[in-house]
């Protein structure tokens, strides 16, 4: 490999990704022999001659500082090197690189322009200058330098890669594809262009072009695990789990110990309803690492596939293998909590020691779990200790008040919230108090409380939202709609209000086109949100488009497993699509969740409604 290519490869490894020109922290490095050796090795490959031994020594110092992340120190050393060697294009290009790493694009451009002026055929300077100009949004000038670089060295890929990225920045993916194809013609067998462009296109949601690029990259580099993994992810995102798993199996032939590939392959096997294959992938993954995050990721993969027993088994096995690891206790608590096994969650969270960085959160979660299973005294003791450590935590006070209410002392809970509101009004506290008053049959009082608060803070979007939710709880749909529109008048991109408004319209069967538009905007702002996909599915349901309703609600359920509202809606859609067995299964699952967590019912009489739906399902005639 040429010395100029070594330099440009080093630059592009850090600079070709968007946002890579952000400043790095400056610090005085310690003497590091390994870094010194790397600097000397790198210098040995750099082209050019140095005007003096002082210039060369300062250059070596700059590389040492570069390798330990001290880019400000590297700039100082390069300045000293240039003092006796001011026409050296390599030194100027290195200086431009260091300024770019510090986020100073103006100085970077200045030094790189000196380099191309003094050495017009110096390829690395043209490539990096093109990159810096692109980051500065000066695309025409960037293109000129990149074309010059491509003319100077038509068989070097770096300039092509930056040019392709430039076209992507300009929103011209077809032009980016042509650049990559030009690289393929100039350098047969080169896969990096197809790979990088495919990844960029996939990230932007251009699945068709991304697939074409990644398939070509896989043909050119059949053993490239990164390419195969990206291609598998694309197959997954476009609803082709079988192809995804087959592609991941090819990646594992090349690298059987790749943790990310094993995890992805296990998830794909679960999507294909093969728990046996998934277990094989996951068992292999778990055998490779003792890191506590690995069993947790496996457990959550099982949970997403509605295999809670397998999830619990993985975590309990990990805890037995490393009982002193606090993160495993914490993650086990999270999984039990998600499964609504609150007693088990409380026991797991208790295993997190006070010195752990997750202790504060574990203590609060343990308190909530104890409260939900009726251990009120222990829960309240924990909440008091948590508030003593974090007296300004508004959400913590709201949780404490709910625990007091569960424990049979709603008066104390109300006093706590009113006291907190006197100390510092907040939408979260108003919401907690209004919800409590509603549960006590004092809904009108809750509306007056919130109305007075909104009168004091008429442009507080969160308070307006809380007031709208309170109207909906009271069954006042017109009032709720009006309040949600008031939120959007203040904050047009309030995602929760957009979703709430769309859902209310769909529930009322009104203005379904507006309902869909509002919910889709919420999803643009917060993609892959289960509650918002549920609203979109409900819009389709109310239109009578049950196929699309099922699709949206299945995706909502995959993102928010075991949410009773989503499960009920999915069952309703299955029923209308004449998929009675599936309707019965998800309704039963919703009832199981409500048995474990009655507070998750929405509305409060949801359990009775689900039981009526199940009873109304036609029974199958016995086989003859």
Number of Cβ within 10 Å of residue 424's Cβ equals: 9
Q: What percent of the chain has pLDDT over 70?
A: 91
Q: Please indicate whether residue 382 or residue 231 has the higher confidence score (pLDDT).
A: 382
Q: Which residues contact 182 (CB under 8 A, 6 or more apart)?
A: 160
pLDDT digits (tens, 9 = 90+) for 398-432: 999 999 999 999 999 999 999 999 988 899 999 99
Q: Please state the φ and ψ torsions of residue 329, each to the nearest 5 degrees.
A: -60, -40
Predicted local distance difference test score (pLDDT) of residue 510: 84
Q: Distance (Å, rounded) from C-alpha 600 to C-alpha 109?
A: 58
Predicted local distance difference test score (pLDDT) of residue 51: 67
Q: Check pLDDT > 80 for residue 22.
A: no
Strands (E), 429-488: none
Contact assessment for residue 210 and residue 201, using Cβ atoms and an 8 Å cutoff: yes
Structure tokens at 283: 């068992």
Predicted local distance difference test score (pLDDT) of residue 208: 86
Predicted local distance difference test score (pLDDT) of residue 17: 40
Nearest residue to 68 via CA among 32, 115, 37: 32
Q: Distance (Å, rounded) from C-alpha 444 to C-alpha 452?
A: 12
Q: Check pLDDT > 70 for residue 566.
A: yes
Q: Which residues contact 261 (CB under 8 A, 6 or more apart)?
A: 225, 228, 229, 248, 251, 252, 255
Q: Distance (Å, rounded) from C-alpha 111 to C-alpha 118?
A: 11
Per-residue exposure over 281-297, b if at least 16 CB sit within 10 Å of its own CB, e if not:
bbebbbeeeeebebbbb
Q: Check pLDDT > 60 for residue 547.
A: yes
Predicted local distance difference test score (pLDDT) of residue 31: 40
Q: Distance (Å, rounded) from C-alpha 172 to C-alpha 164?
A: 9
The DSSP 8-state label assigned to residue 256 in this structure reads T
Q: Check pLDDT > 60 for residue 19.
A: no
Q: Check pLDDT > 50 for residue 21.
A: no
pLDDT digits (tens, 9 = 90+) for 349-361: 999 999 999 999 9
**Least confident span in 27-41, 323-337, 408-422:** 27-41
**Least confident span in 306-320, 461-475, 584-598:** 306-320
Q: Which residues contact 552 (CB under 8 A, 6 or more apart)?
A: 533, 534, 536, 537, 540
Structure tokens at 92: 């100027």
245: helix, strand or coil: helix
Q: Distance (Å, rounded) from C-alpha 370 to C-alpha 345?
A: 9
Q: Distance (Å, rounded) from C-alpha 80 to C-alpha 59?
A: 8
Question: Mean per-residue pLDDT for 288-315?
Answer: 86
Predicted local distance difference test score (pLDDT) of residue 580: 95
Asked whether the domain spanning 527-616 has the same topology as the one spanning 1-136, the reply is: yes
Question: Mean per-residue pLDDT for 489-501?
Answer: 97
- The overall average pLDDT reported for the chain is 87
Which of the four pLDDT bands, split at 50, 70 and 90, describes residue 222? confident
Q: Distance (Å, rounded) from C-alpha 279 to C-alpha 285?
A: 10
> What's the Cα-to-Cα distance from 385 to each of 221, 355, 433, 558, rounded to whole Å?
58, 15, 22, 36
Predicted local distance difference test score (pLDDT) of residue 559: 87
Predicted local distance difference test score (pLDDT) of residue 200: 80
Considering 45-49, 121-125, 315-319, 556-560, the range whose residues carry the highest mean pLDDT is 121-125
Predicted local distance difference test score (pLDDT) of residue 481: 96
The DSSP 8-state label assigned to residue 492 in this structure reads T
Q: Check pLDDT > 50 for residue 7.
A: no
Q: Please indicate whether residue 36 or residue 351 has the higher confidence score (pLDDT).
A: 351
Which of the four pLDDT bands, split at 50, 70 and 90, describes residue 304? confident
pTM here is 0.65
Q: Please state the φ and ψ torsions of residue 105, each to the nearest 5 degrees.
A: -70, -30
**Kindly report the CA angle at 426 between 424 and 431, in degrees rounded to 5?**
135
Q: Distance (Å, rounded) from C-alpha 175 to C-alpha 290?
A: 46
Predicted local distance difference test score (pLDDT) of residue 27: 39
Predicted local distance difference test score (pLDDT) of residue 575: 96
Q: Which residues contact 434 (CB under 8 A, 6 or more apart)?
A: 446, 447, 449, 450, 466, 470
H helix intervals, 16-138:
33-45, 53-67, 71-83, 89-101, 105-118, 123-135
Nearest residue to 69 via CA among 121, 125, 23: 23
Q: Distance (Å, rounded) from C-alpha 569 to C-alpha 564?
A: 9
Q: Distance (Å, rounded) from C-alpha 160 to C-alpha 238?
A: 29
171: helix, strand or coil: coil
- Domain with residues 527-616, CATH architecture: Alpha Horseshoe (1.25)
Predicted local distance difference test score (pLDDT) of residue 620: 60
Nearest residue to 261 via CA among 248, 271, 250, 274: 248
Q: Please indicate whether residue 48 or residue 362 has the higher confidence score (pLDDT).
A: 362
pLDDT digits (tens, 9 = 90+) for 334-352: 888 988 999 999 999 999 9
> What's the Cα-to-Cα distance from 215 to each of 163, 211, 260, 504, 566, rounded to whole Å?
21, 6, 20, 44, 37
Whether the ω angle into residue 603 lies within 30 degrees of 0, i.e. cis, is yes
**Least confident span in 4-8, 136-140, 263-267, 466-470:** 4-8
**Least confident span in 29-38, 83-92, 539-548:** 29-38
Q: Check pLDDT > 90 for residue 189.
A: no
**Is it true that domain 1-136 has CATH number 1.25.40.10?**
yes
Which of the four pLDDT bands, split at 50, 70 and 90, describes residue 308? confident
Q: Check pLDDT > 90 for residue 501.
A: yes
Through-space distance between the first and last CA atoms of the chain, rounded to whole angstroms: 76
Number of Cβ within 10 Å of residue 76's Cβ equals: 15
Q: What percent of the chain has pLDDT over 90?
A: 59
Contact assessment for residue 214 and residue 177, using Cβ atoms and an 8 Å cutoff: no
Q: Distance (Å, rounded) from C-alpha 29 to C-alpha 62?
A: 12
Q: Distance (Å, rounded) from C-alpha 167 to C-alpha 47?
A: 31
Which of the four pLDDT bands, split at 50, 70 and 90, describes residue 581? very high
Q: What is the 3-state secondary structure (H, E, C) of 571-618?
A: HHHHHHCCCHHHHHHHHHHHHHHHHHCHHHCCCCCHHHHHHHHHHHCC
């Amino acid at each position: 490999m040429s010395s100029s290519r070594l330099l440009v490869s080093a630059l592009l490894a850090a600079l070709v990704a968007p946002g890579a020109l952000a400043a790095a922290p400056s610090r005085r490095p310690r003497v590091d022999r390994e870094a010194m050796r790397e600097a000397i090795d790198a210098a040995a490959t750099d082209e050019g001659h140095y005007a003096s031994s002082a210039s060369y020594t300062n250059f070596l110092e700059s590389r040492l500082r570069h390798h330990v992340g001290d880019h400000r120190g590297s700039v100082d050393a390069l300045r000293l090197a240039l003092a006796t060697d001011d026409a050296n294009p390599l030194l100027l290009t290195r200086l431009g690189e260091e300024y770019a790493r510090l986020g100073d694009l103006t100085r970077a451009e200045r030094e790189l322009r000196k380099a191309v002026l003094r050495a017009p055929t110096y390829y690395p300077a043209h490539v990096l200058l093109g990159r810096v100009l692109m980051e500065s949004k000066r695309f025409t000038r960037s293109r000129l330098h990149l074309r010059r670089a491509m003319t100077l060295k038509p068989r070097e890929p770096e300039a092509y890669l930056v040019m392709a990225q430039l076209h992507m920045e300009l929103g011209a993916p077809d032009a980016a594809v042509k650049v990559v194809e030009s690289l393929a013609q100039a350098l047969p067998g080169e896969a990096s262009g197809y790979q990088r462009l495919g990844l960029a296109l996939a990230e932007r949601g251009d699945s068709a072009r991304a697939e074409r690029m990644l398939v070509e990259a896989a043909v050119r580099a059949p053993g490239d695990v990164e390419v195969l993994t990206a291609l598998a992810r694309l197959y997954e995102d476009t609803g082709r789990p079988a192809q995804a798993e087959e592609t991941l199996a090819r990646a594992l032939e090349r690298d059987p110990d790749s943790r990310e590939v094993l995890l992805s392959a296990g998830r794909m096997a679960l999507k294909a309803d093969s728990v046996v294959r998934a277990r094989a992938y996951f068992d292999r993954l778990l055998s490779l690492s003792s890191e506590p995050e690995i069993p947790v990721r496996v457990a959550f993969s099982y949970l997403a596939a509605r295999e809670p027993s397998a999830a619990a088994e993985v975590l309990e096995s990990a805890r037995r293998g490393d009982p002193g690891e606090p993160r495993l206790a914490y993650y086990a608590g999270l999984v039990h909590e998600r499964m609504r096994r609150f007693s088990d969650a409380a026991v797991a969270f208790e295993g997190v020691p006070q010195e752990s960085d997750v202790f504060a959160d574990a203590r609060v979660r343990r308190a909530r779990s104890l409260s939900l299973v009726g251990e009120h005294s222990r829960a309240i003791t924990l909440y008091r200790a948590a508030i003593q450590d974090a007296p300004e935590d508004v959400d913590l006070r709201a949780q404490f008040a709910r625990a007091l209410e569960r424990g049979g002392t709603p008066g104390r809970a109300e006093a706590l919230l009113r006291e907190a509101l006197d100390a510092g009004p907040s939408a979260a506290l108003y919401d907690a108090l209004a919800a409590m008053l509603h549960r006590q049959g004092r809904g009108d009082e809750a509306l007056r409380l919130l109305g007075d608060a909104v009168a004091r803070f008429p442009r507080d979007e969160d308070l307006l939202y809380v007031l709208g939710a309170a109207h909906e709880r009271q069954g006042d749909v017109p009032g709720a709609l009006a309040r949600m529109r008031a939120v959007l008048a203040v904050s047009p991109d309030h995602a929760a209000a957009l979703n709430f408004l769309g859902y209310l319209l769909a529930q009322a069967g009104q203005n379904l086109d507006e309902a869909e538009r509002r919910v889709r905007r919420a999803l643009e702002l917060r993609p892959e949100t289960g509650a918002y996909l549920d609203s979109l599915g409900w819009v389709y349901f109310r239109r009578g488009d049950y196929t699309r309703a099922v699709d949206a609600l299945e995706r909502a359920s995959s993102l928010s497993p075991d949410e009773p509202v989503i499960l009920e809606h999915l069952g309703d859609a299955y029923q209308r699509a004449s998929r009675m067995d599936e309707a019965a299964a998800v309704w039963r699952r919703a009832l199981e969740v409500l048995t474990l967590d009655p507070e998750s019912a929405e509305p409060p009489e949801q359990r009775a409604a689900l039981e009526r739906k199940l009873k109304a399902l036609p029974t199958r005639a016995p086989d003859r």
